[in-house]
Amino acid sequence: MSLLSPSCTAAAPPPEHVAVPVQGVRDLAVRLLVARSVFEFDAGTVAQRMIEADQFGLPQAGIATLPGTLDCMAAGDVDPRARVLTLQETPAIAVLDGSRALGQVAMTKAVQVAAAKARQIGTATVAVSNSQAIGAPSLYTRLAVAEGFIAFCTTSTGGATVAPCGCQEPGTASHPLSWAIPTKHGPVVTEGTTCELIDEDPEGNMLGFGLSFVMSVLAGPLSAGRMPLHKTRTASADGSQHFLYLIDPNHFADMMRFEREVGMTTAELKSLPPAPGIDRVRLPGEREAERARQWQETIPLAPETVAELRRRAEEKKIAIDW
């Protein structure tokens, strides 16, 4: 499943980056993962999520992470052939055991499970335990919003790295999170981390600290995992937990009225006078969507990433022509 709309004019790669063909990178990623015993279907899912991350301008979740993922499998932290299992289930919720499978595989399944439930009863919550890093939560809220759902996703990977208000030592983590809302003008998609809201002033407001704590609970004990403060090994060894919540607006409101009100508001927001130096008002996630439409045939990768991919290909005797 692709998240992208029809192509715009291809963009030039950012400075110091190389434009590489999407199909070529996808094929190489799949072959390298399969060489590590990953099922071909799962390898395709992982490659697709990584490529989407690069297309949306999220390189920290993109193809550059593939070598590290392969190394985690070699170290035994990731089970390349694991199956995602259902631990608990009701009509409205599910708790999945990621079985130390690749995080992109577990989280993509979580979206599918939640979507089926939300269509039936209006909302769905899926927690994923014993998993691995998923990249960026917005990749999964975008999957859900493309099907008409309001979506929220957060994840917990690694131990405590952020000192909260009033503390001298790390006590919480910087959890990435994303909301997505469907609109006539395209989805409104937020992407950020709780760390961005933590005030360095010891007497500052507690919003970021509080949200970090809440995300730690949702993607921790509620997902059959631990709080960041109690994770002491490497991120891949300790594993990750994820939390997903979907809402089907059809069950809550008259859809014509909902779409009209949200559509009118987004149109009015976009028509507001832009600030000096800004060409036009954009909704959250719109710039990323514009960027993705420009990077359908190629994606920009750092030269060192391209060199490492070529080295890995040569090591596995995989011929590439880019």
> Which of 143, 138, 61 has its CA nearest to residue 102?
61
CA distances from 72 to 42, 80, 153 (A): 16, 10, 24
Average pLDDT over residues 236-248: 94
- Do 197 and 208 meet the contact criterion of CB atoms below 8 Å apart? yes
pTM for this one?
0.91
Check residue 3 and give its pLDDT.
Answer: 58
- Of the chain, the percentage scoring pLDDT greater than 70 comes to 93
What torsion do the CA atoms of 54, 67, 153, 266 make, to the nearest 10 degrees? 0
CA distances from 218 to 4, 58, 112, 285, 296 (A): 30, 24, 19, 24, 34
Confidence band, pLDDT 50/70/90 cuts, at residue 10: very low
Domain, as residue range, for 91:
85-251
Mean pLDDT of the chain: 92
| Structure tokens given for 7 | 């192509």
CA distance 196 to 174: 8
Average pLDDT over residues 146-160: 95
205 and 129 inside one domain:
yes
Average pLDDT over residues 181-194: 93
Check residue 174 and give its pLDDT.
Answer: 87
98 and 117 inside one domain:
yes
Q: What's the CATH code of the domain at 129?
A: 3.30.1370.60
Q: How many helices (H) and strands (E) does the chain have?
A: 10, 10
**Residue linked to tokens 């995602």:** 84
CA distance 290 to 7: 9
191 and 100 inside one domain:
yes
| Structure tokens given for 121 | 């009863």
4-13, 109-118, 237-246, 260-269: segment of lowest average pLDDT = 4-13
Check residue 200 and give its pLDDT.
Answer: 61
65 and 105 inside one domain:
no
Q: Rounded to the nearest 5 degrees, what angle is found at the Cα of 126, between the Cα atoms of 124 and 129?
A: 170
Check residue 236 and give its pLDDT.
Answer: 85
129 and 92 inside one domain:
yes
Q: Considering only residues 1 and 252, tell me which one the structure prediction assigns the higher pLDDT.
A: 252
Confidence band, pLDDT 50/70/90 cuts, at residue 298: very high
Show which of 251, 278, 295 is a domain's final residue. Answer: 251
